[in-house]
Structure 1
Amino acid sequence: MESPIKIDGLDLKKLVERVKEIQLETPTGKKLIILLAGVPGSGKSTLSCKVVKLLNEEHNIKSLVLPQDGYHLYRSELAQMPDPEEAITRRGAPFTFNADAFLKTVRLLNDPTSSSEVIRAPSFDHKLKDPIEDDIKIDPDTKVVFIEGNYVLLKDPGWCELVDIADDSWFVTANKNLIRNRIIKRHLEAGIASNEQEAIDRADGSDLKNAKYIEENLFVPQILIQNN
């Protein structure tokens, strides 16, 4: 198995050039699908937005991000699980997502017979703490779609099928202390935690547990991005 190509997360030009090269080889009418994974707090969402902005504004390649977050199970669905307390506490773990629905959307994006259709996908509202159905609109003229999320390179059943669909795969990594600090800050800013200690406990518990699982059950990406 080949080792991934390493690219500095600050070198946005090199990332954009890679997308452009692959996009030129993509058949007319087919969307370029790029998996962009990373542990919580690695900066993958920020990075994907920067690359998409450059593709759209400077290179006239219509691109967007489809986040995994929109496929969170609803809180009402978690409450129906055999151990609802664990499900709610572990929200953000692989089993708390609707991987089948996510995979179905990505397959639709990759289907040439759907190339003339507007495809809708859910987003996630951190204030409501639930998905918003059909909030993301993917037009037929969209050329590049970044499938972004913690688990899009996971080897687990369901998730593992994404690598067979995608044209390229990226994994974002960062210093572990930086990741931890980012997660704590995010929990406080988003209102996920009501105080710093609660944010620390959540980061050191569920979030870093999920991060460890990702690193141990990851397909080797084609691109490894160091994002410090």
Structure 2
Amino acid sequence: MTQISYKADVDVMELVTRVLKLYKEKSHNRLVISVAGVPGSGKTTFTAEVVRILNQTIPTLVLPQDGFHYYRGDLAKFEDPKKALERRGAPFTFNAKAFVGVISKLNDPLWATVDIHAPSFDHRLKDPVENDIKISPEVKIVFLEGNYVSLKDPIWTDISSFCDETWFVATEWDIVLGRIIRRHLEAGIAATEEEAKFRAQGSDQMNAEYIIANSKPTTVLITNNK
């Protein structure tokens, strides 16, 4: 499949129109689209805006990867708990199997008439909140949003088999770094800009490099360097 590229200054309505066209062409229940990208790429904000517009006509929802973080208590039981806690946010610190389990229900006829529940992530508690997201039968479009939803790694790679289309938001590292530093300061994760920069250039950059090296080509590439 030929990859389609959009620049950051493209009218979001172009993508909304694309999604509406895909939805009309669907022969089964829900349209499912994944949106991947490195931390700080802007994928969450971008997806939220597309979903906001779509919701004016068709019930649409975001299913974030974040809710499938392993609990801190689970990470403490890992073979190397210190590394697991320090690297929290890396692919191995997520319950990918549980994530795919929920995704697999989205167009399963057995789940077509009942609510599907998924966890959210509480950034204040720094842990998931079980069953906090409800995907009712009325929801017709679901966006799977997260850093790793296009990885070719075992289990993660299964996500694309449940998607009608896959998107990737690409952003230059200097822009990403600035966004991550601001995020760490605003969330209280870092007390100073120096500490925030140290964190961003550590685990966050490692994750970003892994995503770039290990993600599959997607249907749509969105360049977001604004």
What CA distance in whole angstroms lies between the structure 2 residues aligned with 1:133 and 1:193? 27
Q: Check conservation: 1:9, 1:47, Cα contact below 8 A.
A: no
Q: Check conservation: 1:3, 1:220, Cα contact below 8 A.
A: no
Q: Where does residue 16 of structure 1 map in the other structure? A: 16
- Percent identity, aligned pairs only, is 52
TM-score of the aligned structures, taking structure 2 as reference length: 0.96
2:106 partner SS: helix
Decide which of 213, 219, 223 is 2:220's aligned counterpart.
223
What CA distance in whole angstroms lies between the structure 2 residues aligned with 1:191 and 1:98? 25
The one-letter code of the counterpart of 1:38 is G
Structure 1 gaps, min length 5: none
What CA distance in whole angstroms lies between the structure 2 residues aligned with 1:123 and 1:178? 27
Q: Map 1:169-188 onto structure 2 (within 5 A).
A: 169-188=166-185
Q: Map 1:107-186 onto structure 2 (within 5 A).
A: 107-186=104-183
Please say which of residues 217-226 and 184-193 is displaced more in the overlay. 184-193
Q: Where does residue 68 of structure 1 map in the other structure? A: 65
What CA distance in whole angstroms lies between the structure 1 residues aligned with 2:8 and 2:110? 35
The one-letter code of the counterpart of 2:80 is D
What CA distance in whole angstroms lies between the structure 1 residues aligned with 2:43 and 2:24? 24
The one-letter code of the counterpart of 2:18 is R
1:42 partner SS: coil
What is the aligned-residue RMSD (CA, Å)?
A: 1.0
The one-letter code of the counterpart of 2:72 is R
What CA distance in whole angstroms lies between the structure 2 residues aligned with 1:86 and 1:193? 19
Deviation at 1:195, TM superposition (A): 2.2
Q: Where does residue 39 of structure 1 map in the other structure? A: 38
What CA distance in whole angstroms lies between the structure 1 residues aligned with 2:64 and 2:106? 14
What CA distance in whole angstroms lies between the structure 2 residues aligned with 1:120 and 1:95? 23
Deviation at 1:3, TM superposition (A): 4.4
The one-letter code of the counterpart of 1:84 is P
What CA distance in whole angstroms lies between the structure 2 residues aligned with 1:220 and 1:166? 14
Structure 2 gaps, min length 5: none
What CA distance in whole angstroms lies between the structure 2 residues aligned with 1:37 and 1:110? 21
Does residue 26 of structure 2 align to residue 5 of structure 1? Answer: no
Does residue 98 of structure 2 align to residue 101 of structure 1? Answer: yes
Q: Where does residue 54 of structure 1 map in the other structure? A: 53
TM-score of the aligned structures, taking structure 1 as reference length: 0.96
What CA distance in whole angstroms lies between the structure 2 residues aligned with 1:177 and 1:4? 25
User: Which deviations, in whole Å up to 9, do the C-alpha atoms of 1:51-98 show, x marking residues without a partner?
Assistant: 0000012xx111010000000000001111111111111000000000
What CA distance in whole angstroms lies between the structure 2 residues aligned with 1:90 and 1:46? 24
Deviation at 1:191, TM superposition (A): 1.6
